[in-house]
Structure 1
């Protein structure tokens, strides 16, 4: 007899599992981030250099958080 009995694991829907483990917020629920032209230019230039490293970009703009920078980028580019 086989010592290792296989038990059937219930299949989980990957889409359902992903949606239940993360909470996504639609852009309609986000408050717009107003930036001056210098900040926008810096965000665009930094994104070209470092990609989606929002903490790094926010560190270059006084008074801005990584969340604000990411929200600005997503709302502007989607």
Structure 2
């Protein structure tokens, strides 16, 4: 039997360590035209949180921008 004491390593919270959520205060506002906002709202009613799909309908917008706009809009 091994009588050596092992030092315990501090446990990290896997939820905190892997979380990529950012508070809305750290996000920069996304400026959209009225037509883009209307399209995002209508598409969200149809397809839900499928940001890639919605962004594909708006030239020059990324899924991240669309999601950020939606989250900050609420």
Q: TM-score range by the shorter chain?
A: 0.7 to 0.9
Give the aligned partner of residue 25 of structure 1: 22
**Which residue number in structure 1 is paired with residue 55 of structure 2?**
58
Provide Cα deviations, 1:47-75, integer angstroms capped at 9, x if missing partner: 00000000000000011000000000000
Runs (5+) with no aligned partner, structure 1: 1-11
**4+ residue runs over 6 A deviation:** none
Structure 2: give runs of 5+ residues left out of the alignment: 1-10
Deviation at 1:17, TM superposition (A): 2.3
Residues paired across the two proteins, number: 64
CA distance in 1, matches of 2:58, 2:22: 25
**In structure 2, how many angstroms separate the alpha carbons of the residues matched to 1:23 and 1:65?**
17
1:70 is matched with which residue? Answer: 67
When the two chains are superposed, the root-mean-square deviation of aligned CA atoms in Å is 1.5
Length-normalised TM-score, structure 1? 0.76
Residue in 2 that maps onto 1:46: 43
